[in-house]
Amino acid sequence: MERQPPLGFSDHRSGRETGRILYPVLSRRSGGLSLGVNLFPDAKRCSFDCPYCEVFPFEGAKPFVVADLVAALDAFASDWTEELGPVRDISLSGNGEPSLSPFLEPVLEACAQARRAHPEALGPAKLVIITNSTGFMRPGSCEVLERYAREEGLEIWAKLDAGGEERFRAMSGTALDFAGIVAGLRAFAVRTPLVIQTMLCRLDGEAPATADLDDYARLLSGLVAGGGRITQLHLYTQARPAPAGRTGALDNEDLLAAAGRIVSALCPAAPELVVRVFGQTGELAFPEGAPRPGGNAPVGNKGGTSW
């Protein structure tokens, strides 16, 4: 088993698309050093085909092996020093949808055990999964995520990019059952807390329409009103180029304006919801006088690379 070099920060493509299964990055949303776990080092495997996805075509490496992840976590921990700063999280993401992997449960267990085996380097790190929410329609995936959330503090960052069918199809690149995905997300959120993550970007030159933002706010308000345990809302824009070339980042002013419209509609239903907004280079603060949901504050990571 070849030991991969564990250190050396990079953007996501130069880590995961060279076949690495563990890649350190500086994350906007984590606020520092994050270890990405790539469950698909050999090819992209995803239930979505998002136009903003930054996974470029790449040469396939060997398929995922849990033992390789364990070795990579051990290697990282042995080379870690305080000068690198604390590891904020170990995050399952990579070249596809992690809930599709047959290794989901053993990977979460390997990460949890690595935290216990290396308390100085990895002990403080949260476990995170970044998911497109299609796994909430599969009972087996839900059972695994719920158990690790309960027993290991796993944070589930769940995608919700639209409030209606048309926008969903445009942003996901699929004809999957939007109502079914929302129903699965709603049922999961009632049982287990999660973070909602939403991409706000230009698509074919157009920023999100106000009607799309209003539909989204109504849907999210309904999730909260129905007992959904939404702990945070992450509104972010595109940070890296996408191979399709159809999408682009919102500038900070437009991003904050879109976020403000969403927050204004959300505040009556979810006054305590923590809403965080991420531009291309870091976290943004809401302007003075703008609606401020509970706990919102600029945390910013001073220009790091992002998820």
pLDDT digits (tens, 9 = 90+) for 53-92: 988 877 777 899 999 999 999 999 999 999 989 999 999 9
In the predicted structure, residue 36 carries a pLDDT above the cut 50: yes
**How does pLDDT run across 81-136, given as a tens digit for each residue?**
999 899 999 999 889 999 999 999 999 999 999 999 999 999 999 999 999 999 99
Quick one: pLDDT band at residue 302, thresholds 50, 70, 90? Answer: very low
For residue 94, the model assigns a pLDDT of 87
Quick one: pLDDT band at residue 293, thresholds 50, 70, 90? Answer: low
- On the 0-12 / 13-18 / 19+ scale of CB atoms within 10 A, 299 is middle
- Collapsing DSSP states into helix, strand and coil, what is residue 256? helix
| Tokens, residue 109 | 């267990």
In the predicted structure, residue 9 carries a pLDDT above the cut 50: no
SS (H, E, C) 51-116: CCCCCCCCCCCCCCCHHHHHHHHHHHHHHCCHHHCCEEEEEEECCECHHHCCCHHHHHHHHHHHHH
**How does pLDDT run across 142-184, given as a tens digit for each residue?**
999 999 999 999 999 999 999 999 999 999 999 999 999 999 9
Nearest Cα to 94, choosing from 6, 35, 161?
35
Average pLDDT over residues 39-66: 89
As a whole number, the mean pLDDT across the chain is 88
Please state the pTM of the whole predicted model: 0.89
Give the fold, CATH level 3, of 12-284.
Answer: TIM Barrel (3.20.20)
Domain parsing of the chain, residue ranges: 12-284
For residue 270, the model assigns a pLDDT of 83
> What does the alpha-carbon distance between residue 138 and residue 244 come to, in Å, rounded to a whole number?
29
**How does pLDDT run across 209-254, given as a tens digit for each residue?**
999 999 999 999 999 999 999 999 999 999 888 988 999 999 999 9
